[in-house]
C-alpha cells in the first residue's frame, strides 16, 4: 500500500523554490498543526520554502490510497484536502504531528494506517501493477499497449484509471516518458531529436510542446539550464 515515508526539513533566510515532476501517487502530508491529503498534481509541483520548517509525508503506491478512502481518486486530483479526523484517529494524528523524530512519526503513521485500511481491492492492485509496468518498461508507449496488457477495453481502462488513480492512462504514459526525457537531457544522453525519437515522438515540435507543458521549460532551455547556460 505504501511506497515510503518521507521527511523534509529546511532553513533558509532568502527563500527558495523546490520543483518536482509528480509521480502518480496520493500523499498524506503532516506540517505544523495540519494533516492533509494531496492528490496527484498533473503539472509540475512547485513549493516555496521560506524560514524554518519541516514536512512529514506518506506516499501511497499508485491506486492504493483506495485502501484508506473509497472516494473516487479523480476528486483528489490537483487538490489538497484536510484529513477527515472523524474517520482518521484524531489522537494518533495529534501525536504524529508533535512526534520529535522521523522514526516515531513513521511508527505512528503505521498505526494510523492499520486502523483505517480496508481489504485490498483487486482492481486497485491491477492498476498499481499497470503503472509499475509503464514506469519500468520503456516499450510501453501507448494506450493501446495498456489495453493489450490489461485485457480491458479502452473505455474500461479510462474509467478505472480515473476512478482508482485520478488521471488518464495517457497522462501516466506521458509523465513517465517525459521524466525519462528530462533525465536523458540532464545526463547528456543524446540530442533533443534523438531522445524525442527514442520516446516514440514522430514530430519534435509535439515533443517540445509536451515537455514544456509538464516541465515548464522547452527541452532546449532545460538543456541549457542543466549546463549552466543562461
Residues 160-198 have pLDDT tens digits of 999 999 999 999 998 888 888 888 888 887 888 888 888
Digit-coded pLDDT (tens) for 123-142: 999 999 999 999 998 888 89
Residues 141 and 43: beta-carbon distance below 8 Å: no
User: 213 — phi, psi (to 5°)?
Assistant: -65, -25
Task: Return d(Cα 28, Cα 25) in angstroms, integer.
Answer: 10
Length in residues, the chain: 230
Is residue 6 scored above 70 in pLDDT?
yes
- Residue linked to cell 486530483: 77
**Strand order, beta sheet including 2-20:** 2-20, 45-60, 27-31, 34-38, 80-82
Show the domains of the chain with their CATH numbers.
2-116 (no CATH), 122-226 (1.10.10.60)
CA 164 to chain CA centroid, Å, is 14
Amino acid at each position: 500500500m505504501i511506497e515510503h515515508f518521507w521527511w523534509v526539513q529546511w532553513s533558509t533566510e532568502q527563500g527558495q523554490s523546490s520543483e518536482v515532476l509528480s509521480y502518480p501517487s496520493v500523499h498524506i502530508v503532516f506540517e505544523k498543526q495540519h494533516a492533509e491529503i494531496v492528490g496527484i498534481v498533473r503539472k509540475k509541483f512547485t513549493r516555496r520554502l521560506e524560514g524554518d520548517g519541516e514536512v512529514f509525508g506518506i506516499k501511497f503506491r499508485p491506486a492504493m490510497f483506495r485502501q484508506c478512502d473509497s472516494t473516487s481518486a479523480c476528486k483528489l486530483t490537483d487538490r489538497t484536502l484536510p484529513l477527515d479526523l472523524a474517520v482518521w484517529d484524531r489522537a494518533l494524528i495529534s501525536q504524529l504531528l508533535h512526534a520529535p523524530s522521523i522514526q516515531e512519526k513513521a511508527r505512528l503513521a503505521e498505526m494510523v494506517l492499520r486502523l483505517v485500511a480496508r481489504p485490498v481491492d483487486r482492481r486497485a492492485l491491477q492498476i498499481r501493477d499497470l503503472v509499475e509496468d509503464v514506469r519500468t518498461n520503456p516499450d510501453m508507449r501507448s494506450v493501446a499497449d495498456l489495453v493489450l496488457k490489461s485485457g480491458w477495453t479502452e473505455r474500461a481502462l479510462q474509467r478505472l484509471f480515473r476512478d482508482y488513480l485520478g488521471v488518464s492512462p495517457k497522462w501516466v504514459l506521458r509523465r513517465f516518458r517525459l521524466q525519462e526525457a528530462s533525465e536523458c537531457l540532464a545526463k547528456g544522453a543524446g540530442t533533443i531529436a534523438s531522445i524525442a525519437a527514442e520516446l516514440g515522438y514522430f514530430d519534435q515540435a509535439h515533443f517540445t510542446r509536451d515537455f514544456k507543458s509538464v516541465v515548464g521549460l522547452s527541452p532546449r532551455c532545460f538543456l541549457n539550464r542543466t549546463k549552466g547556460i543562461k
